Amino acid sequence: MEFWDCNSCFGLPSKPSQSPATCETVDDLTAQLDRAGIVRSISWHVAQHDVAPTIGNRMLAEAIRGKDQLLGCWTVLPPQTGEMPVDQLLADMKSHRIVALRAFPVAHRYLLNGATMGPLLDEMVARRIPLLYSTRRLPASYSGQQAWQDLYNLMAECPELTLIVVDHGSWGCDRYFRPLLDLYERVFVDTSMYYIDGGIEDVVARYGPGRIVYGSGLPERYPGGMMMAIGHAQIDDEAKAAIAGGTLRQLIEEVTL
């Protein structure tokens, strides 16, 4: 069973995080991945959120160059400001092994909708580029429920978008994410904070094993916890392999740049 990870990062945060654990450098991250036995990881640099997407994206591309274990995930901005023209963004993604995108609309002061991001969203659908969205990295003034409403609005406008919801909460967000799984076949959730007894089994029973993918949450979370949860889940070996890495690998292979 190979583990492919959709959710890791590295770099020093500008403010203390909820967890004291950090991977200051890309080598710190790969050491943790090696220790856990993770074959591939889609990773991003915290500067993409804390400093500026343009700066953080460049730092990520430089850091993962020559490191086959890592695939990149850049952070997007609206094209109207000229910071990230869509054509140039796509060309740069191809040359730097970027296979997914993240958006932090609250932190970066824009609306994640068709009016703002329409040209990019159209390309993401056509090229099957996943959007990784964290419902955790939000300012204290912004409720988690509003973040979910934003995702509902986005998917209503762009129903064929490939969306992977990550960091969706240790108290169980099933009542938020399951309606999305019901409505949109390209919505997935990660495991990084899915600490629900019997949760994996129940999601598999209702939706099949292809809607939940392994996310380590490194460095803020220990990667082995959810590896053990998958390995000991009361599901068959084929389902375990799909969650551990099979589904994510397929999603990556579908990306066209």
Task: Give 3 or 12, the one with higher predicted confidence.
Answer: 3
| pLDDT value of residue 251 | 99
pLDDT at 140 over 90: no
Residue 152's SS3 state is helix
User: Domains plus CATH for the chain?
Assistant: 3-254 (3.20.20.140)
Q: Report how far residue 56's alpha carbon sits from residue 25's, in angstroms, rounded to the nearest whole number.
A: 13
Q: Report how far residue 257's alpha carbon sits from residue 250's, in angstroms, rounded to the nearest whole number.
A: 15
Per-residue pLDDT tens over the stretch 43-88: 999 999 999 999 999 999 999 999 999 999 999 999 999 999 999 9
Asked whether 188 and 131 are in contact (CB, 8 A), the reply is no
Element of type H or E holding 141: none
Q: Report how far residue 60's alpha carbon sits from residue 195's, in angstroms, rounded to the nearest whole number.
A: 29
Q: Report how far residue 203's alpha carbon sits from residue 66's, in angstroms, rounded to the nearest whole number.
A: 37
| pLDDT value of residue 172 | 78
Asked whether 81 and 45 are in contact (CB, 8 A), the reply is no
Please tell me whether the peptide bond between 219 and the residue prior to it is cis, using omega within 30 degrees of 0: yes
| pLDDT value of residue 18 | 62
Question: Cα torsion at 110, 251, 125, 79 (round to 10°)?
Answer: 30
Asked whether 47 and 56 are in contact (CB, 8 A), the reply is yes
Tokens of residue 10, six digits = 């590295």
Encode 61-102 in three state secondary structure: HHHHCCCCCEEEEEECCCHHHCCCCHHHHHHHHHHCCEEEEE
Count CB neighbours of 208 within 10 A: 12
Q: Report how far residue 153's alpha carbon sits from residue 155's, in angstroms, rounded to the nearest whole number.
A: 6
| pLDDT value of residue 143 | 73
Per-residue pLDDT tens over the stretch 93-105: 999 999 999 999 9
Count CB neighbours of 106 within 10 A: 17
Per-residue pLDDT tens over the stretch 186-236: 999 999 999 889 999 999 999 999 999 999 999 999 999 999 999 999 999
Q: Report how far residue 131's alpha carbon sits from residue 124's, in angstroms, rounded to the nearest whole number.
A: 8
Interval 135-146 mean pLDDT: 79
Interval 123-151 mean pLDDT: 89
Place of tokens 């997007």: 76
